[in-house]
Amino acid sequence: MARPERRTMRDVRRNNQAMLLRTLYFAGPASRLELTGLTGLSAATVSSMTGDLLGENIIIGAGQVDSDGGRPRALLRVNPLYGYAIGVDVSETHVRVELFDLAMHERAKVEYVLRPARHDPELVARHILAGVDVVLSDAGVPPEQVLGVGVGVPGIVERGDGGLIHARSFGWDGVPLAALLRAGTSLPLHVENGAKAMAQAELWFGSGRGTGNAVIVLIGAGVGATVVAEGATLHGVTRSAGEWGHTKIVVGGRPCRCGGRGCLEAYIGAEAILERAGAPTHTAGWQEELAGVLASDSPVVAETLTYLGVGLANLINLLNPEQIVVGGWVGHLLGERLLPAVRAAVAENSLAQPYAATSIVLGNLGPDAVALGAATLVLEEFLSAAPAARMTAAV
C-alpha cells in the first residue's frame, strides 16, 4: 500500500543497470540473450548496457557457449578484479581485517587480539587502520582499487552518517567509530552490526542462499538474530532490530550485562555457559574451555540446549521462517556437536505447524563469517549504487 514515487527515465535506467549487474553477479556467467530472459529488459537495452559495462571493465568476457544452429554466444561475468572489498570483524576477542576480491575470495588477512574488557574505541580504530594497510601491502593491492571498508561491530549502530555505536558489552555508549576511522582513511566506510553483516554473507553465499523467509542467528559472546522476510532484511525503525539475545525467556531470571534479567544471552552466550559450568570466562583459551564444557556430561549442556531450544522456538512461533541458520563461534560449537539435540529442544517448545515448516541448519561459512559479511556491505553498494553513478553521464 505504499505510494509509488515519480521516477525519471534516469532513475529507471539506473535501476535497470543495477538489476543487470546483480543478475550477472549472482546468476552469471550469462549470455546477452540469457540476460534479457533473466532481467526482462529488451535486447537493445541489454546490448547497450553491457557495452557500457564492458567499456568500464566492470564486466568481462567469460568464454562462449554453443547455441542451437546459430553462432556461439559470448558469455559475460562481473570482473572479479575490478576492485576489492575490505571486511572487518570487531568482536569481544579480536579485530580481524580481511581483503577480498569481488568474487569474495580472500586475498589477505590480519588479526589483532583484544585483551578481555579492553575495548578502547581509539585502540580498535588504530587496529582497523593498521590492518587495512597490512592486508593491502600483503596482497600488493593499491588503495585506489579498494571500493570500500565494511566494519561489523557488536551492538546497535545508529542510522545516518555519524553511525554512533551503542554496545553495552563493550562499554560503548555512542562511540563515533566511523569518525575515528575517517581521521586515518578516505576509503568509503560501511559500519553495521556484526550479526547482520554475517547474516548477509550467509544469505548471499552460504546456508541461507535462496531463502526468502529466514532467521540467521549469531551466538558468540553476544547473541543476535537477523530476520529476513520476503527477501528483505528487517532493520526496524531505528535499525536496531535483531536484539534476540536480550529477549527474556525467564522473567526475573539470571542477570544480563544489558542490565536486565532473564535474557536469552544470559543463558546461551559464551560467558553464561561458562559461568553456569563454573569455568573461567574471558580467558585467552575460553573457546577451548567452552568446547570442553559442551563435550562433557555436565548438566549445563542439557540446560543450554533447552534455553537455546526455547529461544529458537520463540522465533519460529512468532515469525514462521523457512530456515534458521545458526552461526557464531558458540553456535558452531553447539551445532557441530549437538544439532539433532538442538532440533529436539526446538520441537518441544514450538507449535507443530511452524516447526514442521522450518529447517534448522548450521551456517556453512563457518564461525568467522563476520568479516566476509562486512565486506558484502561494500559489494552491495557496488552492485546497487556505484555503477549507476558511473553511468550518469551516459544517460
Q: Pick the closer one to its own copies by CB: 183 or 232.
A: 232
Q: Is 242 in the site for its own copies (CB under 8 A)?
A: yes
Picked from its own copies, Zn ion, none, the partner binding residue 256 (CB below 5 to 8 A depending on kind) is Zn ion
- Find residue 73's DSSP bridge partners: 65
Among 21-29, 122-130, 138-146, 188-196, which window interacts with its own copies (CB under 8 A)? 21-29
Q: Is 246 in the site for Zn ion (CB under 5 A)?
A: yes
Distance CA 55, CA 31 (A): 17
**Cβ-count burial of 382 within 10 angstroms (0-12 exposed, 13-18 middle, 19+ buried)?**
buried
Q: Which helix (H) or strand (E) is 85 found in, with range? A: strand 84-90
DSSP, res 58: S
Q: Pick the closer one to Zn ion by CB: 83 or 155.
A: 155
Picked from its own copies, Zn ion, none, the partner binding residue 9 (CB below 5 to 8 A depending on kind) is none
Using CB under 8 A as the binding rule, the residues of this chain from 208 to 237 that contact its own copies are: 212-213, 225, 227, 229-232, 234-237
Residues 6+ apart with CB under 8 A from 289: 274, 279, 280, 283
- Interface residue with Zn ion among 184, 260, 262, 292 (CB under 5 A) is 260
Among 101-109, 130-138, 257-265, 332-340, which window interacts with its own copies (CB under 8 A)? 257-265
Using CB under 8 A as the binding rule, the residues of this chain from 288 to 317 that contact its own copies are: 306-307, 310, 313-314, 317
Q: Is 250 in the site for its own copies (CB under 8 A)?
A: yes
Q: Pick the closer one to its own copies by CB: 204 or 286.
A: 204
Distance CA 386, CA 245 (A): 35
Q: Pick the closer one to its own copies by CB: 240 or 364.
A: 240
Using CB under 8 A as the binding rule, the residues of this chain from 315 to 354 that contact its own copies are: 317-322, 348-351, 353-354
Distance CA 8, CA 388 (A): 14
SS (H, E, C) 336-384: HHHHHHHHHHHHHHCCHHHHHHCEEEECCCCCCHHHHHHHHHHHHHHHH
Using CB under 8 A as the binding rule, the residues of this chain from 148 to 207 that contact its own copies are: 156, 158, 166, 204
